[in-house]
Each structure stands twice: as C-alpha cells, then as structure tokens.
Amino acid sequence: MLDRLPVIAWTAGPDGAWDYVNARWASRTGASAEQARGRGWVALVHPEDADRCAQAWTEAVRSGQPFEAEARLAVAGGGHRWHLGRAQKEAGGDGRWVGTWTDIEDLKRVQGLDEQALKEDQAARAEAEAANRAKDEFLAMISHELRTPLGAILIWSQLLRNEKMDEAGTARALGMIERSTKTLAKLIDDLLDVSRIIAGKLRLDSRPVQLGPVIDAAVEAAQPDAEAKGLRIDRTLPTETVMVSGDPVRLQQVVGNLLSNAIKFTPEGGRLALVVEATATHARITVTDTGAGIPPEFLPFIFERFRQAETASTRRNKGLGLGLAISRHLVELHGGTIEAASAGEGRGSTFTVTVPLVHASSADAVGHPAVRGEWPAHGGSLDGVRVLVVDDESDARDALALVLERCGAKVTVAASAAEGLAAWRREPHDVLLSDIAMPGEDGYSLMRKVAASRTDGKPVPAAAVTAYATTEDRQRALEAGYRDHLSKPVDPGVLVATVAKLAGRSVALRATIYPSLRA
C-alpha cells in the first residue's frame, strides 16, 4: 500500500534501523532499497544537513517522540531537493516506525524569495532610519549653532538695557552682538548655498576679475578674527596682475572660508600664510596653517557636506561642516580644483585652489569684489533724498529709517501696501523700499500699482527688502518691477549704497562679506 503513495515512505524497526522503502524512494533518489537499509539513507542527505538530521532521528528513536526534520536529499539525475522528513512510532504495536519524506523544494524557494524580500525591506528600512537619524542630528546641530549666537545677542542686549555700562563695556556688548549677527547671517548663507547646490541652482555672476583685490578683501574680512587669536596672516601676491574669469563675491567666499578655517583650527601663536602664484594657465591660491592638522583617514571626506573631523557629541568647533563642500562646488563651477593636504594631526594643513587664468584687458576687469558695506563712510551721502519705507514689521521699518536718516535721507514710513501706495501718490519720493510678504497685499502688488501710476513710463527707483533670499525670489522681485533686491538682514552699508544708486547719488564704501545678501 505504501508503494502507491506520491511521497517517499519507509518503515524502521524499534531500534531505528530502516528495513523498508517504497517504490517512490528509488524513483526519486535513484538509489536502491538496499542503500537505504539500516542508517544507509543518511548517505543520501546533503552533507550540511546530514548530522542534524541523523541526530534528530536518533533522538526520536530514544524518546519515542515523533521525528521531524527538513533536509536536502540527493535526487535522481543529480543535485539535491529539500524534503520534509516525518515519522511516528506505531501506537500499541511492537514499536515500529513509519515515516515519509515530502518534497518541499518549491515551498522553500518561495520562502527564500520571501526572506530575500524581507532582507531588502529591512535594509531599506535601516537606510531610511539612518537618513532620518542624520536629519535629526543635523537639525539638532543647526539649532545648536543658531541658538549660540542668538543666546549671545539676547544676553548682551539685556545687559545693555538693564546695566549701567561704561563706554568700554558698551563697545564690547555691541561688538558681541554684531559678531553674533554676522555668524547667524553666515549660517543662513551657507544653508541657502547648500540648498541651491542640491537643487542645481547655484549660479556664478562671472566676468574677468583681478584676483589681488579679491584676496585683499578676504584677508581684510578675516583680520579681526585672526587678530583676536593673535594670529598673523602672511600674504604673498605676485607683482603682476593675475586675472581669472569668475564671480568675485564667490571667489572671496572661497578664500574667506579657507582663512576662517585656518584661524579656527590654529591655536594662538600659530602662523597662517596665503600665497597667490600664476602658472602658465592657472592662478594658484594656497592657504597654509600650523594648526590642528587633519587626520589622514579624514582627508578623503573633508570636502563632503556635514563632515567634520569630530563627531557631533565631541565637537569642539563651531560650524556645520558645510564651508568646504560649498567651496569645492564654487571652485569647480569656476573650472578649478581644490585640494587639502596635511602631515597629520597637530601638524598643520594646506589648502590649494587653482582657477584658470584669463587674458583680458584690465579695463574690463572688476577691480573690487562686490562691495559689501560697513557703516557708510559719509554721514551726509543721502542728503535730501526722499525715501518711502514700506514694511509691516515696525522694528524692521524703524531700523531702515534710522540708518537712512543718519545719512541725511528724509524718510516716510508705511505699515502696509495700501498705506505705502497712498503715501507714494500723496507726495513725491525719490526711492521706494518695500518688504514683500505683508498681510493683505504684498510688495509685488504694491510695485505693480506704483509702476502703473507712473505717467512718464520710466522705471520706479525701488528696491525690495525681504527675507525671501533665494535667486528665484530675487528674479520675481525684479520681474514685478523692483530695480534691486536686498535680503534681510540688510547690511547698512549696502542699504545706503542701494538707495544712493537708485537716487542717482554715489557713495563710498569699504568692502566686506555676505554673498547671499546680494543673491
């Protein structure tokens, strides 16, 4: 009867020795009944499963409990297939065993696929969790980086308000507030730059540029921090003019980044050197310091985003690990290269930037990088200029008015687009400065109405002053009719220069920072 079963069937004596196999055994395994006898069947089990399977059988025979095992059995024609082995002791009788081997190969294959899918699923989940953790760490880091300067601003401004401070104390407090504000602006600049890079939207405003003044401006901007740590920056420039094709603000940003890192990672008493050389085809800028150095295992990753030599919890240095990633992107947009070298920890670092030279007449060249103002040099440079300032936030309005009035402008303020439009129609103004996002009616709408009210068809001398700082925001403002776009926080010098330009005046400024204030 067992011969007719569609599975391998067998019987064994009470001692566990096989004494019968059905016909299926021979057709399936290609082995004879004789080969299965006693414990001979074990030889047909895959070597990796044989011991486990034989032990399970021995244990079943010893205990009298049912036998069950999965094992690969050699099959006729070669290879193995998974089988499920089961056997039971006959109840009541003389303790003989009856068992079967059922082919479960197909089932196993499906299970295998399931397991594979499960593994892939788990890997995808682990990856998503890691990305999520990285995002959380990043947000924690950003909020820490933002809170530190914000905390300083809050404390020092409260001290200024509540304590009687002498002149030196006041100067110190104001210096702290100014530095913290610049730190905040720089952080936001970096974040915006990174998001532009990720979106592929970072563009250069390229033209022939003299490298010398760009380097000078970067060194000048870094000087106060270097001096505060007692570090001198040795600068070596070639006597001839070095001309490259590029965006002066972005080039200054790259050099500024390298300098600020060199200052940050070099202890007091160290030395910094900046050397510019011209080869036949390239300008080479080298920034060397005698500071912390870079561990060799970190060097390959140094230009990656959010990479810092220390982990988040042990970080001693401020920053988000974005500066070098941005610098590399900027240099590559210029068709150049940037490299880092260090003899190891504590042994200083060298960063080398190369940018292709151009041969243009110096008449086309921009001598100065885009001018970022400090406090405007001439108090009266806006004498008599009538400016209308429209902003729904009174603090922002008052700050703009204060700066402009100090330079001699006559300022009218308005708290909404409607008020602004009424003021513009009521009396003549030379310049309009307007916020963009305002409740009710926005600055775009105001601009269109003001432009429409103009009978001579000339462009309105107007600039948008807004926290919308991306290139697209700037584009939108220009399309709406604004002649310029300043992003908040506005550098006072830039503000005065912009108003002067719109009013047809000229004003002298000293250079500093903030690329995104321009963008």
Site for ligand ADP, rule CB under 6 A: 257, 261-262, 265, 289, 291-294, 302, 307-309, 317, 319-325, 349
Minimum CB distance to ligand ADP, residue 345 (Å): 9
For 152-184, b/e burial (b = at least 16 CB within 10 A) is: bbeebeeeeeeeeeeeeeeeebeebbebbebbb
Determine the residue type at 150: L
Decide whether 338 or 502 has the Cβ nearer to ligand ADP: 338
Residue nearest to ligand ADP (CB): 319
Decide whether 350 or 487 has the Cβ nearer to ligand ADP: 350
Decide whether 109 or 144 has the Cβ nearer to ligand ADP: 144
Minimum CB distance to ligand ADP, residue 257 (Å): 6
Decide whether 210 or 288 has the Cβ nearer to ligand ADP: 288
Decide whether 320 or 499 has the Cβ nearer to ligand ADP: 320
Minimum CB distance to ligand ADP, residue 166 (Å): 35
Decide whether 147 or 425 has the Cβ nearer to ligand ADP: 147
What's the first-to-final CA gap in the chain, in angstroms?
90
What token pair was written down for 324? 């070098």
For residue 213, the number of C-alpha atoms closer than 13 Å in the C-beta half-sphere is: 18
| Pairing between β-strand 207-210 and β-strand 243-246 as defined by DSSP bridges | antiparallel
For the chain, count helices (H), then strands (E): 14, 17
Quote the distance between the C-alpha of residue 169 and its chain's center. Answer: 38
Q: What DSSP element (H or E) covers 125? A: helix 105-162
- The answer to whether 253 and 330 have CB atoms below 8 angstroms apart is yes
Decide whether 85 or 256 has the Cβ nearer to ligand ADP: 256
Minimum CB distance to ligand ADP, residue 259 (Å): 9
| Pairing between β-strand 410-414 and β-strand 207-210 as defined by DSSP bridges | unpaired
| Pairing between β-strand 337-342 and β-strand 410-414 as defined by DSSP bridges | unpaired
β-sheet with 349-356: strand ranges across: 232-236, 271-278, 282-289, 349-356, 337-342
Determine the residue type at 93: G
- The answer to whether 409 and 381 have CB atoms below 8 angstroms apart is no
Minimum CB distance to ligand ADP, residue 261 (Å): 3
Minimum CB distance to ligand ADP, residue 78 (Å): 59
Minimum CB distance to ligand ADP, residue 264 (Å): 6
Decide whether 321 or 493 has the Cβ nearer to ligand ADP: 321
